[in-house]
Structures are given as C-alpha cells and as structure tokens.
Homo-oligomer: A and B are copies of this chain.
Amino acid sequence: MSLLVTGSIGIDTVEAPAGKVENVLGGSSIYFAYAASFFSPVRLVGVVGDDCPPDFLAPLRANPKIDLAGLEVRPGSKTFRWHGRYHADVNDRDTVGVELNVLAERGPAIPEQFRDSRYVFLANTHPALQMQLLDQLKAPALVVADTMDLWINSQRDALLTLLRRLDGLVLNDSEAKLLTGEPNVVAAGMKVASIVKKFVVVKKGEHGSLLFTEGKVSAMPSYPTCNVIDPTGAGDSFAGAMMGHIAAVGKFDAATLRRAAAYGSVTASIELEDFSLNKLVRTSRGEIDQRMKQFEELTAF
C-alpha cells in the first residue's frame, strides 16, 4: 500500500567517538524513506535549497523503491543544516549548531500523484505545518506523526489539535513525560494514547520502546549492539521500518504493530553502525530478516 513521508532533508556534520563526518546526507525523511524502502515503496516529500549539491541525494535516487517526485529544490533558499557532537557514551549528544534555513519557510506541497497515499508519516516539524500537509491528503488509512520538545513547549495548542486527528504518534520518553506532566513513562504513554485515535510508540533509544494500543501496553527492548558508530537517524529509521512493515501488510492491529516495532528496532540497530546512510545502503532485506530472526530467538522466553 502507498506510504508517504514528509520531513526534513539536512546537510549534517557529526562528531562521534568513532570519527567525524562533514556535510553528509541527513534529515528525518531521508532516514525514514531509506529504512521504509526495505519493506514497501515510499514517497518522499521534502525541500532543499539550491545550495544542495546535485548528487547529494544519490543514494535515494539509486533506490528504485523511493519516489522523489515530492522533492522540491527551492531557488534562493538554503538547505537545513545540523551539527551534532556525541559524548563518549553515544546516548548523549550536544547540538553544536543548527541552521533551519528552508525549514523556517513555507512547507513543501504534496504532489497531486501523492495525495492518494494511504499510509502517511509526518516527521517532526511545526505542528501547524504537519496539519497543512495532512489537509492535502485525500483519504489516508493511517496517519502517524513524530514531534519534539520544542513544539511541546512552544506550540502546545496546535500540537494537541493535531494529535486529535492522528491515528498514531511516535515520540521519545522525555517528550511523553513533558507533554503529559507524568513522571512515569507508562502513565505518560497511556495519557498520550487517550488523545490520538489508535496508538502511541514511546521510543527509549538503547532501552527499546513501549507501544500503547487497544488499551494495553507492550514493551520491547532494543536489539542489543555494541557497534554504535553514529545514532543520528536511528529514531527515524525505527519509524521508517515500522511504517514500511505496516504499509506492506496493510494492517495495524496490536500484533502487527508489535512486529512493526521489532522491525523498527532491528533496522535502527543496523543504521547506527555507520555514519549517514552508509550502513543502510550496504544492507539487504535478507540481512534485516536474519537479524530479526536472531532478535526473536534472543528475546523469547
């Protein structure tokens, strides 16, 4: 089934204990789309400036499962840039610099041929913009969004209006607590789940995720790995694989959502083994399925 993602495209600089990369491909929609493409065709909507090098999106152009008809190159604008620095414990990072550039302007339009998309992921951006994107869709079957602390703090009303129209929300544990004022992450997730229509996934990074749906809470560990080079994009890869699996099977009951989250965990654990998309472009669906099988065996009790 047709899967659409809207989100950022960025020129990233990343410093980590394993090394440093400058001006590499990043952004939520990039990681999401590449991860989703292992499971389902995916349509990307995003905008860059005319400073974006022509071959910058080559890994996506080379992937026949990713449709870039929604990519806008905006003349006179500059591409979003992000510079992050990870600590010795790569679960902690500092943002060294961020230039919103084109992300601070009007959002991209969803092309006519994408407006019939049935599965939709609105990656993190201003909730009013997420709403505008949602309004351009004809009859989505499942609309899921991501958000962040910035919008929870500064755009709470717009965010709450958006949440009531969503089928699903993906957010971090600290964001769930911030949004609800609940110090317990399970209570926080339950409260958010009472606002959206179907489900909430609370991501806890290396500690896994919690799924709230059908009045129940499911817990899942992360696929355990010690080969963490660069966690940038792990959360977006999680969401991409999750939505890709959902779109592929065309269901979103509790059991399907758990399996989707497991694929998310496994795909994210591969993504973070190198900078940018470097590991994902070297990965096959067979390798994902192999790690998924290990994950099943090593979590069963």
Task: Check B222 against A219 for contact (C-beta < 8 Å).
Answer: yes
A88–B217 Cα gap in the complex (Å)?
A: 22
A216–B298 Cα gap in the complex (Å)?
A: 8
Cβ-based interface call for A296 (8 A): yes
Which of A88, A225, A226 is the most central at the interface, judged by chain B CB atoms within 10 Å of its CB? Answer: A226
Q: Which of A45-53, A73-81, A112-120, A178-186 contacts B (4 or more CB under 8 A)?
A: A178-186
Task: Check B258 against A300 for contact (C-beta < 8 Å).
Answer: yes
A261–B298 Cα gap in the complex (Å)?
A: 13
Q: Which residues of B contact A207 (CB under 8 A)?
A: 204, 207-208
**In the complex, which residue of chain B has the Cβ closest to the Cβ of A177?**
B89
Q: Which residues of B contact A218 (CB under 8 A)?
A: 224, 298-299
Cβ-based interface call for A137 (8 A): no
Q: Which residues of B contact A185 (CB under 8 A)?
A: 206
Cβ-based interface call for A190 (8 A): yes
Task: Check B228 against A219 for contact (C-beta < 8 Å).
Answer: no
Q: Contact mask A224-237 → B, CB, 8 Å, 1/0? A: 11101000000000
Q: Mark A residues whose CB is within 8 Å of B.
A: 88-90, 182-187, 190, 204, 206-208, 210, 216-226, 228, 255, 258-259, 261-262, 296, 298-301
